[in-house]
Amino acid sequence: MIPRYSTPEMDVPAADAVTCRDRAPETDEAFVQAVLDREAITDHDVAAFVDVVQGAIGAPASSWIHYGLTSSDVVDTALCWAMRDAADLLIDASTELLGTLLSMAGAHRDTVMIGRTHGVHAEPTTFGAKVALWALQVDRDRARLRVARDGIAVMKLSGAVGTYSNIAPAVEQHVGAVLGLEPVAATQVVARDRHAEFLYACASVGATCELIAVELRHLQRTEVREVREGFKPGQKGSSAMPHKRNPISAETISGLARVLRSNLLAGLQDVALWHERDISHSSVERIILPDSSQLAYYMMRRLRRLLDGLVVMPERMQANLESSYGLVFSQPVLLALIQAGATRDDAYRIVQRNAMKAWDDGLEFRTLLEGDAEVDNSVLDDAFDLQRSLRNLNYVFDQLDDITV
């Protein structure tokens, strides 16, 4: 303790402090086994740990081990320390994924493809614009991870029910400064909304990875075939069908996202504890906190590898765009007719009539419009101009300039 806050009654004698440090047991396999053996008797993990440490140090100095603390002071502080470090790894992984997405967005800025709504051709876009939106979402996930990291980088040494009855707040401040954790007011445990926020950040990462994975799965369908996952020499897609090249990475990511969402629900249920504490959260957290941390990290790394090896097929994208007889320009035609003087209802009727005939009979949409007596052909050139549809996409890409990797 620093001299300003030292009191003889609360200070550990200097000689005892030296003894405790010098005789502290090494945390090797033998030590772990000794704690496990002791826990079989105490049925309490922290008490078992304290007993073994005290036994190694020996009386009277060992009496100062765990002095004035409760188990949660140790366990919650250590858990928050581990979660903070896990968050740092997650933030690094999100930054790496973001770098990959930014590079891909730039490379395919002008790679034209059809945009789809409800799985149906809508209007033209570019693959780069699609990836740019993914990058913006990953950047938001990174911001959420940073907030969650700050929220969980805390600690407490305030004792049973959090009243500092046996440990002065100055001790907590000193330990927090050494560990790089912020002391916070607490009951016997650190409030679990912090842990739930961390789990939400992990689940959000999973949802974003799944969003990208689901899109890539659709784009790899045989009928679409606009992208393809990398396929190594000697790799097999099916034990029965030698032609198969399946979207296995994207499907794996989709599945793991479900686990992260389920873990978030359990974490939210851990927020409400009895009075100043119970241990209903403890068994849950032993599973969901390490699992969510590891899965979110794995998913971002797996997605990055998928994107690094992704084969993009611009020619196929162009062919798919052109496969719907020019119907992707129906809205520009609608607006052009309105600007030429038609009412919206009349313009919609004209465009829909010709669009349905084009689709049903396999005829070019523009050819049908040019033969329609109600259509002013002078407006069609601009309406069917692909670059007109894409002329404002710079707005999307400009937002990427604010992202730092």
**Residue 405, domain member (yes or no):** no
If asked whether residues 31 and 59 sit together in one domain, one would say yes
Assigned token pair, 94: 């999100």
Residue 121 a catalytic site member: no
Catalytic residue, chosen from 118, 239, 243, 275, is 118
Stretch 237-244: mean pLDDT:
78
**Residue where one domain finishes, among candidates 64, 94, 115:** 64
Nearest to 129 by CA among 151, 111, 148, 150: 111
Instruction: State how far the alpha carbon of 330 is from the alpha carbons of 112, 167, 326, 361, in Å.
Output: 18, 73, 8, 17
Over pLDDT 90: what percentage of the chain?
Answer: 84
CATH value at residue 301: 1.20.200.10
If asked whether residues 106 and 221 sit together in one domain, one would say yes
- The span from the first CA to the last CA of the chain, in angstroms, equals 40
**Residue 400, domain member (yes or no):** no
What is the count of structural domains for the chain?
3
If asked whether residues 215 and 88 sit together in one domain, one would say yes
If asked whether residues 278 and 341 sit together in one domain, one would say no
Which DSSP symbol is given to 59? T
Assigned token pair, 167: 């440990």
If asked whether residues 332 and 303 sit together in one domain, one would say no
**Residue 190, domain member (yes or no):** yes
Check: CB of residue 183 under 8 Å from CB of residue 233.
Answer: no
Stretch 147-162: mean pLDDT:
96
If asked whether residues 189 and 123 sit together in one domain, one would say yes
Catalytic residue, chosen from 6, 63, 165, 238, is 238
For residue 109, pLDDT beyond 80: yes
AA identity, residue 166:
N
Confidence of residue 5 (pLDDT cuts 50, 70, 90): very low
**pLDDT given for residue 242 in this prediction:** 80
pTM for the whole thing?
0.89
- In this predicted model, what pLDDT tens digit does every residue of 270-318 receive, in sequence order? 999 999 999 999 999 999 999 999 999 999 999 999 999 999 999 999 9
**Residue 236, domain member (yes or no):** no
Q: Which of 120-129, 231-240, 247-256 has the lowest mean pLDDT?
A: 231-240
**Residue where one domain finishes, among candidates 64, 82, 107:** 64
CA distance 175 to 173: 6
Check: CB of residue 227 under 8 Å from CB of residue 219.
Answer: yes
Q: Which domain range does residue 358 map to? A: 327-383
CA distance 298 to 304: 10
**pLDDT given for residue 68 in this prediction:** 86
If asked whether residues 168 and 222 sit together in one domain, one would say yes
Stretch 227-251: mean pLDDT:
83
CATH value at residue 356: 1.10.40.30
Assigned token pair, 15: 């000689």
Long-range contacts of 32-37 (CB under 8 A, 24+ apart): none
Q: 200-234 burial, b for 16+ CB within 10 Å, e for fewer?
A: bbbbbbbebbbbbbbbbbbbbeeebebbbbeeeee
Residues 6 or more apart in contact with residue 150 via CB below 8 angstroms: none
Average pLDDT, the chain: 93
Which neighbouring-strand residues pair with 231? none
Confidence of residue 8 (pLDDT cuts 50, 70, 90): low
Assigned token pair, 199: 């789990």
CA distance 222 to 166: 69
Residue 330 a catalytic site member: no
AA identity, residue 269:
Q
